[in-house]
Structure 1
């Protein structure tokens, strides 16, 4: 069977602007996460849990990416933290220009921890630098454990995997053993956290890891 591979470096302008954004964020001491995953993986629910566990001790803000609606941003706004909605108008990912515009509407002096919730997609967002310090991919139990091998770039380029909806695993044929094996074959350094937004399982360890990572990278301002 013949396979055709297409490789084009069409991302240089995005990378250049992302580097400028990164300088601004680093100067302000903002630790930035790019939160990725497919539609329905539970990215916004995970984000709500992170906010609930961290906002009291960490100044947080969110840039919320979506094709057209403000539904997820409204959920985040209800948590009482600053949120900027970015509607892509059909584009399947955020890019550095969108982030640059959003940063102009945030008071970075008051922000220690910025989460960018990307558009739900396991393909396009993997290629775009958003000036993040950390990439986190959310994979839900209900999606199946075959996604890492089907969409390898996303998992190869992420630092952390959050396996969400662990409370449903007993009702599926999801194999954690196969998932760990496949992840290690793609990205042996990837940190994996198993969580449930319904029960709160796993979020204490996840939040502790994120806070420590921010401190280690110098992204946290003094309280």
Structure 2
């Protein structure tokens, strides 16, 4: 694991730098996701499950965003893939300059799939282009079904929502019908996966979806 401390937030044109990163990622045919969600939604646990299913078929790496600690990156590193730990020192988002620095510290020539686990936050991270092919939002049944309307920009900009912790939905007041109604009102084309990291519900379906996207990227850019 390589740990990068973001010393200060240097003003950059995020979109210009994101386009430069995207050009490089496209040239190398690396399918990239920006994994977003609240603290405790289960992003890291979900990522561990995806690694188990995907690394057998494709070379992958993770850029792990966190305010201060390296605990999540240490979990990911146990799966024997390349990990970059980005510590933002309190900034509640990642930006294109941080991704550029991370790419310079990865052997991108051997990568097929890059997962960026963003800072746990639903308010700001979607505003920053990280050169991803797809934004994926993870939310859990323990958060309540009102999150899409509370943070509409996040869910409008995402291509996929992963509804996590389905195994305990009966112990919450999560209204799944209202959730689907609200999410479709905000983004009629969004794809939803219902998963549980505890009993592996929906994990294989989600993994197959991502593996297909990795293959499509290679065909598109070949």
> What TM-score range do you get, normalising by the shorter chain?
over 0.9
Match in the other structure for 2:4: none
| 1:130-145 superposed matches below 5 A | 130-145=130-145
CA contact (8 A) 1:159 1:190 kept: yes
Measure how far apart 1:12 and its partner are: 7.9
Task: With the length of structure 1 as denominator, give the TM-score of the two structures.
Answer: 0.92
User: Match of 1:196?
Assistant: 196
Q: Are the aligned partners of 2:32 and 2:114 in contact in 1 as well (CA < 8 Å)?
A: yes
Write out aligned runs for 1:1-223 (5 A).
13-218=13-218
The question of whether the paired residues in 2 share the 8 Å contact of 1:195 and 1:201 is answered with yes
Matched residue, 1:3:
none
Q: Deviations over 1:91-115 (max 9, x none)?
A: 0000000000000010011110000
Structure 2 unaligned segments of length 5 or more: list them: 1-10
Q: CA deviation at 1:219?
A: 6.9
RMSD: 1.6
Structure 1: distance between partners of 2:27 and 2:178 = 42
**Gapped regions of structure 1 (runs ≥ 5):** 1-10
Instruction: Give the aligned length.
Output: 212
Q: Kindly provide the CA deviation profile for residues 95-142 of structure 1, in whole angstroms up to 9, marking residues without a partner as x.
A: 000000000010011110000000000011010000000110000000
Q: Distance in 2 between matches of 1:211 and 1:161?
A: 17
Cα deviation 1:33-73 (Å, max 9, x = unaligned): 00000000000000000001111111010000000000000
- Deviation of 1:218 after TM superposition, in Å, equals 3.1
* Separation of aligned partners in 1, 2:219 and 2:50: 17
**1:80/1:221 CA distance change after superposition, 3 Å:** farther
Q: Is the 8 A contact 1:37 1:138 kept in 2?
A: yes
- Assess if the C-alpha contact under 8 Å between 2:63 and 2:114 holds in 1: yes
